[in-house]
A and B are shown apart, each in its own frame.
Chain A
Amino acid sequence: MSRSGWLMLLPIALLLSACERPEIHTQRILAFGTLVEVSIYSADAELARTATEAVRQDLERMHRAWHPWEPGALGRTNEQLATQNEFSVDPSILPLLELGQALERRSDGLFNPAMGDLIALWGFHGDDRPDDPPPADAQIRQWLERAPSMAHIELDGLRARATRPGLRLDLGGFAKGYGVDRAMQRLRDMGIEHAIINAGGDLRAIGQPGNRPWRIGIRHPDGEEIMASLELRGDESVYTSGDYERYFVYDGIRYHHILDPRTGQPAREARSVTVLHHDGAEADAAATALFVAGPGRFAEIAAGLGIRKAMLLDPQGNMHMTPDMAERVRFEAEPAPAVRILELPR
């Protein structure tokens, strides 16, 4: 090579050294009624900031529209359902109604988005629960007698009608997952290929940071300790539901927010459930349904929902998991819990 050829290398080397390196830009924001962490792997810090702000605005808009107790699209839908008259559904709500009906059916009713009144009876519908006792048995019995279900909504195109009184939607069990999926699509539309959105335990990851996978820690229900970890590549969602997220203690008894539609009481056969799946909304609903199912119906309900990777920590500290989950999860805490593999029915 000539001298001039070698000399041309010098500015290239200088340019390379001046390039911004890609790195993980993590920002935490308050949106959708929870803490949302957005991590974007990019060399463009300004793009990461702009994209995170776009995600915040999108999630806030969805939260307002889908809040069951505020005057948004879902609040108005609930008012119309209460009349039992036919009405036109807001187009932003229709896909959620259809998905909610399908998820309830596929979970054999263990995931029920029509439990708004029961959630309110327990006081879990607001940001901060007042220091009240749990609802009286008679109130719960009354709700159980009505047994509101998504099946009691007749849908015909954009027209809808409740066929029973006392039906109030609370889409909290899967709307956040649906919202995270849409927020991730927003990042993709902005040209971002490697990112995590973690909305209070509802996490979706795309791509990977450099030549390694995303590393996700799963917290133990009893505290800050990381009990397990997963490595994610490509496009996957990790959703965890636990009895530690929202709860209150009354007369020495702890009552958490994951309610069993069969009893009207907090489900008691699990401490936490983690689902690894490609679709956030389905993973979100499945984490709730499997928590309610407990170890006894875990495999059956997972299969019905099309979930192949999930694990459940029971109150005795044993871990129940599908074979595919066992291949992916790594325990971080010592001693590791006793593991029981549950084969999915064919």
Chain B
Amino acid sequence: MTRGDALVIMFAALLAGWSFTEFWGVQGPGATEVRIVSGNEEFARLPLARDTRIDVPGPAGITRVEIADGAARCARSPGSAGICQRAGWLRETGDMAVSLPNRVLIEILGEGEKQFDSINH
């Protein structure tokens, strides 16, 4: 084996090692944005870093989504049980609130390993 061969092998090994950590390694942390779905369509995708309020129309009325201090919540929504509002402030990747009567889904998106792949409830 010549020195050139050794260099090619070393380069290939380094490349494989880099590609593994880059593409297969642990993801960075952090919830970054909130996705709002109305019916079957994505209504909005907003950064959690910008405080705002948005009204989402649905078949039962208006669902109000509020973003503040890096979290989002369902501030107001039709539905007598108040299930959407009861989800509280959503901060972590995978957190969500749903208004079934108004067919609105609010979910937090971002990178990061979740403890569970799915929650049974």
Give the residues in chain B near A200, CB-CB below 8 Å: 121
Known: A3-B5, A16-B19. A35 touches B105 (CB 8 A): yes
Whole-angstrom distance between the alpha carbons of A219 and B119 in the complex? Answer: 7
Whole-angstrom distance between the alpha carbons of A205 and B118 in the complex? Answer: 10
Q: Are A216 and B100 in contact (CB under 8 A)?
A: no
Whole-angstrom distance between the alpha carbons of A246 and B81 in the complex? Answer: 8
B24: nearest chain-A partner, CB-CB: A21
- Interface: A338 (CB within 8 A): no
- Interface: A138 (CB within 8 A): no
Identify which of residues 231-276 in chain A touch chain B, using a CB-to-CB cut-off of 8 Å: 238-240, 242, 245-248, 274
A19: nearest chain-B partner, CB-CB: B23
Known: A13-B16, A16-B16. A28 touches B37 (CB 8 A): yes
Known: A30-B103, A215-B115. A9 touches B120 (CB 8 A): no
- Interface: A136 (CB within 8 A): no
What mask results when residues 204 to 216 of chain A are scored 1 for a CB within 8 Å of chain B, else 0?
0100010000111
Give the residues in chain A near B81, CB-CB below 8 Å: 128-129, 246-248
Whole-angstrom distance between the alpha carbons of A29 and B80 in the complex? Answer: 22
Give the residues in chain B near A3, CB-CB below 8 Å: 2, 4-5, 8
What mask results when residues 1 to 20 of chain B are scored 1 for a CB within 8 Å of chain A, else 0?
11011001101100110110
- Interface: A156 (CB within 8 A): no
Whole-angstrom distance between the alpha carbons of A7 and B12 in the complex? Answer: 9
- Interface: A327 (CB within 8 A): no
B96: nearest chain-A partner, CB-CB: A28
Known: A28-B37, A30-B40, A131-B80. A219 touches B101 (CB 8 A): no
- Interface: B110 (CB within 8 A): no
Q: Are B100 and A274 in contact (CB under 8 A)?
A: no
Give the residues in chain A near B78, CB-CB below 8 Å: 128
Find the residue from B40, B79, B96, B101 having the highest chain A CB count within 10 A.
B40
Whole-angstrom distance between the alpha carbons of A127 and B102 in the complex? Answer: 10
Give the residues in chain A near B4, CB-CB below 8 Å: 3
- Interface: A17 (CB within 8 A): yes
Number of interface residues of A (CB under 8 A): 51
Q: Are B98 and A35 in contact (CB under 8 A)?
A: yes
Give the residues in chain B near A274, CB-CB below 8 Å: 120
Q: Which residue of the partner chain, among A13, A196, A245, A247, contacts B118 with CB atoms under 8 Å?
A: A196
Whole-angstrom distance between the alpha carbons of A127 and B4 in the complex? Answer: 71
Known: A29-B40, A240-B121. A229 touches B116 (CB 8 A): yes
What mask results when residues 23 to 66 of chain A are scored 1 for a CB within 8 Å of chain B, else 0?
01000111001110101000000000000000010000000000
Whole-angstrom distance between the alpha carbons of A24 and B81 in the complex? Answer: 33
Q: Are A201 and B121 in contact (CB under 8 A)?
A: yes
Q: Which residue of the partner chain, among B80, B103, B116, contacts A130 with CB atoms under 8 Å?
A: B80
State how many angstroms separate the Cβ of B89 from the closest Cβ of chain A.
11
Whole-angstrom distance between the alpha carbons of A209 and B113 in the complex? Answer: 13
Whole-angstrom distance between the alpha carbons of A34 and B96 in the complex? Answer: 13
Q: Are A128 and B101 in contact (CB under 8 A)?
A: yes
A247: nearest chain-B partner, CB-CB: B81
What mask results when residues 119 to 141 of chain A are scored 1 for a CB within 8 Å of chain B, else 0?
00000000111110000000000
Q: Are B117 and A215 in contact (CB under 8 A)?
A: yes
The contact sample of 29 A-B pairs, CB cut-off 8 A, is A1-B1, A3-B4, A6-B8, A17-B18, A24-B117, A28-B107, A29-B37, A29-B40, A35-B98, A35-B100, A35-B105, A37-B118, A127-B101, A128-B60, A198-B118, A198-B120, A200-B121, A203-B120, A214-B117, A214-B118, A215-B117, A217-B115, A217-B120, A218-B121, A219-B121, A226-B119, A246-B81, A248-B80, A248-B81
Which A residues contact B (CB, under 8 angstroms)?
A: 1, 3, 6-7, 9-10, 13-14, 16-17, 21, 24, 28-30, 33-35, 37, 39, 56, 127-131, 196, 198, 200-201, 203, 205, 209, 214-219, 224, 226, 229, 238-240, 242, 245-248, 274
Q: Which 6 A-B pairs have the closest CB atoms?
A: A17-B19, A217-B116, A219-B121, A128-B101, A13-B12, A217-B119
